[in-house]
Structure formats: C-alpha cells, structure tokens
Structure 1
C-alpha cells in the first residue's frame, strides 16, 4: 500500500488496480468508501479498456471473438510503481498474457496521483506502443462515504453541478446505454440524494467535454468533495439501488457501456477512443476535499 501525505490529507493507493483506497483529513474524516462487500467491494476502481458492460460480455475484433467482463481488467491487475515521492506516485500497467487473451492490443496505462494542499489530482496516460490502431475506453469510479464523518444520513446530502444548467442525460437500460433516447436532468439547483434516484442504475450526464465540477456536500457540516473535469465527455453518478448503501460514486468516463443496439464489433463501439501508432491519450480529474 502506498501512502501520500501533506499537512491536510493522508492518501492511500493500492498497487493492485492502482486503486485509491483512502483519503483522510487532518481531523480524521474518511472520504473514500471502505469497500464493505455487503454493498460494494471496491473503493475507486479504474475502468479500462472498457467502461460498463459489453453486449453478452463479448466483442468481435478483426473477425475473432473476445470475452471481457464489466469495466475491463485494469482493476484486477498489479500495477508497477515507476516514480514516488511524499506527495505523488506514478503507477503503470502494460499488456501481459492474460490481458492479450481478452484484448489483443499492446498498451501502456499510466496513472499519476498527486497531492496539492486540499486537492488530489489524478492523471491518466494511455500510450499506443505499436503501429496498429489502439481502441479503448477509460473511466474512474471513486466512491465517497455518505456520511463522511458520521454526521447525518444519505438523504442529508446533495449533488451540485457547475455550470448550473439542464444537462442531457444518457439513460441506461441496464446494463446498456441508450444515447439515442436522451433525457434531461435539471442541475440548475442542487439534487437531494434519494436511493430511488438510482433505480435504473447511474445518472449519466453528457458533458460534451465542457469543464465541469460535481460537488457532494451536506446540510449538517462543512465536509464535502468537489470533483472537477476539464475534458471528459461523460460523468456517471451512482449508488447501488435498491440497497440502502451509505456511499455515492462520481465517475468521470471517456467511454460508455455498449449501446442497446451495439453490433458487437469493437471497431463500431459507440464513444470508443482511437490511438494511431505511437500516439498517446491524456485525461484526468481533480478532487478537492473540504
């Protein structure tokens, strides 16, 4: 387990999955969900090389069938630490025999965590080392305790999104996405949390790469988080209804689950990212803790 620390926050990151497992403030408040398997056994998995599910957990690439389960394999692989200081760490995953059986591409996925006062910056770099095209999706899935410090309950918390506006929402027909049947979600005012909000899975906002901040806060104390994205096409907001789970996930996504009318061909996958030979893809987000 890797520990990063400054005068405000203590952060832990597991080399397995490069997963953020804890963020504690100087007053002892734990912000990150602690993976109680009765609700959800993860903290903040990295989603690669797919986000969500494939149709029938499979796809076709260059005439060959491949099988891959929800959110891909990065979260279940050991990353290697390539650089570390008191306030930053870089971890890297590349292809291996197990990944190539599911995903016939060479790749380098690099994740950097850096503490800056009250903020944790997370940066992803995907590099294509080959001459052939690399196809992938990428996402983050950080879960946050609700409540943060034992004050109040789930319904005392709210989500605020900036800029304030009515967002295009991409509905999920679990477990698939339906971007051709968009809905609207009003974030001109705060959204008070209710478990029933997630009865149809995550609330997925189409951000159109606009700089966006999603804040989770409550009416009882000053604790909260604000997750900022500069160039993410989507963000998902999720809690596992109908379970009365005491956490909420705010998930930056560079990709989507297969659509309801997906062909199963990876080359046709909706919102897939493409890297030509020797190209790299950079993305990330920042979380402010207060």
Structure 2
C-alpha cells in the first residue's frame, strides 16, 4: 500500500499543475493531495496487474478514481450535505477556501477525471478506454455515487423507518460503486476478458460493501483524532447504520463474511498473481481509520 500510494501521489501531484486561475487549482490540490489511503487507485493498479497488464497503463485511470473520490468528499463535507469541519485530519475544503470555491473545485475534479483517462492513457485499445469512461460515469452519476448520496440524505432523521435493504442500497451506491469501478477499470485497461472482469466485479462489490460496514463501525468506536474526521456523526444525525440495525458484533461478522466472499472470487487465480487484491481485501476488513 505504501509503495503504490507513493507512486499514485507522485502522479496526482503532476495531474493538477498550479496555473491561472491559481485559486481553483490550489483548492483542488489541497484536497487531492491531503493524504488518504489511496485504496481506489491501489485497487485499480492491482486489478490491472492481476490480469497481466502494466501499471503504467492503469495509472491515469487510478488517478481519475482518486479525483472522483476527492470530489465526493469535498461535496459531502459541505454545509448543505454532511456539514463537516475536518477531513483526513485537516480543515475541510470549504473551511479553507469557502463554499463557492469548494463546489467548483469538486466540479473541476469531476471533469478532469474523465479528461485525464482519455488524454493520458497509453497503449490501450480505444474501445477499452470508452468502456472505462462508461464504467466510471455510471459509478459516479445517478446510477452510482449520486444515487447513494441522495437516498442517504433523504433518509436522515428516519432511522426507525430505514431498513437493511435501503441501507445496503446506500452503501452499494455511495461507496461500493466507485470501488467496483476502480477494480473493473483496472482489469479492462489491463486487457482482461469478460470472465475475469465479472469475477473481479463480484470481488469488488463485496469489498466495497465491507468497506462501508467497517466505516459504520469505526464511526462509533474510534475517536476523531484516529479517524481524521468527526467521529459519531452518524449517531448525531440519526442515520441508519449497520451497527444501529445489527449491533457492532454482528456488523463485524457481516464485514468479515463479505471479505471472505470477495477472496473466494479470486480462488481460481494463482495466489501470487492476485496477492495484492487478497491483501487489499484483508486490509479493508482490518483497517482502523
């Protein structure tokens, strides 16, 4: 993770140069380069390698995944959304640059992600790049991240009425969709055939949902200092979470079963070849922030 994150950070630093008007690029870079685990880019690179591709081919797509994730965090933290003051241990974008600039920085990162895939990807068939763009668009828009976010917003203050089915929908779309796209797009860029793409898609769906179940648990078991963001927000805003529905211990069991199901999708591959994907699954299940 550290090795890959270093490569990703170097590529991200080059992806948004400081140019006129500097304020928007500063705002984009502030959140994009603020740290973070780089789970989505690492998954993208690992999937590419798993199917025999070169990570240089997947790096533009990996960077795009982090741009889209960062966009979602900037917008998610806004006063009109989750109204958060801290992200990755630093003041949120709108606290530093104002709401107007933060909104535009998120918009700019969204646009740049698609441009970057198309402009910077080398040695990959055009039809595969088109598939990647479609996959990313679906994962980010009204069938993916946006869908999960809107259902999440409209479910606030309705914890007693929101059941497991709605909660799973929120998590699968708000969080898992972009994780799934990261894996699938990495595989597509790496030259994967349809059977491999679908196996890796199933793997990603499981770890994507597990990621959010663990996030729900951490929100009530860890401090703000450890998380790098405000802890206990879900409880304060009366959000339905896995622990609120199932309890902490049962939620942990659900997360571990999802991780096991994800690893099962990789059982037909050479363990050495998919070691990074297996390791990332374990990491997602065991993370503490």
Pick the structure with more strand per residue.
1
Pick the structure with more helix per residue.
2
TM-score (norm 2): 0.29
TM-score (norm 1): 0.29
